[in-house]
Amino acid sequence: MYDLNAFAVRKGNKIEVTISGNLADSCHRAIVEDVYPGGNRQYVRDPGEAQVFIKEWVATTGSVCAMVLIPWAVTLDIADTQHSTVGIYINEEKKLTIEVTKEDETYKVYELTRGTVPSDGTCSIVPASFKMPSAYTVVFGPENHKACAEYVLRHCKSPGKSDFGGGSEAPRGIL
């Protein structure tokens, strides 16, 4: 995955993690395969971080691959009260470690404007310091979270949502 980026926000007893990147071409696929804690992984000793495990592969179903970067994003919740970092793993290899932030920062509202654009006007709220892939455009902010949420309610459809798994959609952000 190219341009891998992520942010994590503590929301009470959970960490909301948004991960984005670009798949190499239209034949590449990626899904969230597991998380720690709360998934199928168990450790004898705690690894000291929350973890997200992504599986990436090339689909071999005989179709022609468009040789363009394909935006991929997912947002998921991890039930966690103790970890301050999240490790992002792709095909079992650690690719990124991110700090868990609090909700009291400034935010921006993004909309997918390049590539395969959904017609529903889906927006995402992300921390202002997070760098979204070039397929997304800032439509509001930086501003506090409340102002961004009000903008989304007035101008956008409900934010994109991806439960455990998925990808290739607007990240939910933190609405």
Each residue of 3-37: pLDDT tens digit?
898 989 888 899 989 898 889 998 999 999 999 99
Q: Is 170 among the domain residues?
A: no
Q: Is 167 among the domain residues?
A: no
Burial class (CB in 10 A: 0-12, 13-18, 19+), 4: middle
pLDDT of residue 170: 47
Name the DSSP letter for residue 92.
T
Amino acid at 139: V
Closest CA to 121 of 150, 63, 160: 160
Q: Is 46 among the domain residues?
A: yes
Rounded to an integer, the average pLDDT of 108-130 is 73
Count Cβ atoms below 10 Å from residue 48 Cβ, excluding itself.
12
Report how far apart, in Å, the C-alpha atoms of 66 and of each of 41, 116, 133, 151 are: 35, 13, 19, 35
Report how far apart, in Å, the C-alpha atoms of 21 and of each of 14, 18, 146 are: 23, 10, 27
pLDDT of residue 157: 67
Q: Is 166 among the domain residues?
A: no
166 versus 133: which is more confidently predicted?
133
Rounded CA-CA distance 107/144 in Å is 6
Split into its structural domains, the chain has a count of 1
Q: Is 125 among the domain residues?
A: yes
> Has residue 116 got a pLDDT over 70?
no
pLDDT of residue 172: 52
159 versus 12: which is more confidently predicted?
12
Q: Is 104 among the domain residues?
A: yes
Q: Is 34 among the domain residues?
A: yes
Give the residue numbers spanning the domain of 120: 2-155
pLDDT band of 124, cuts 50, 70, 90? confident
Q: Is 164 among the domain residues?
A: no
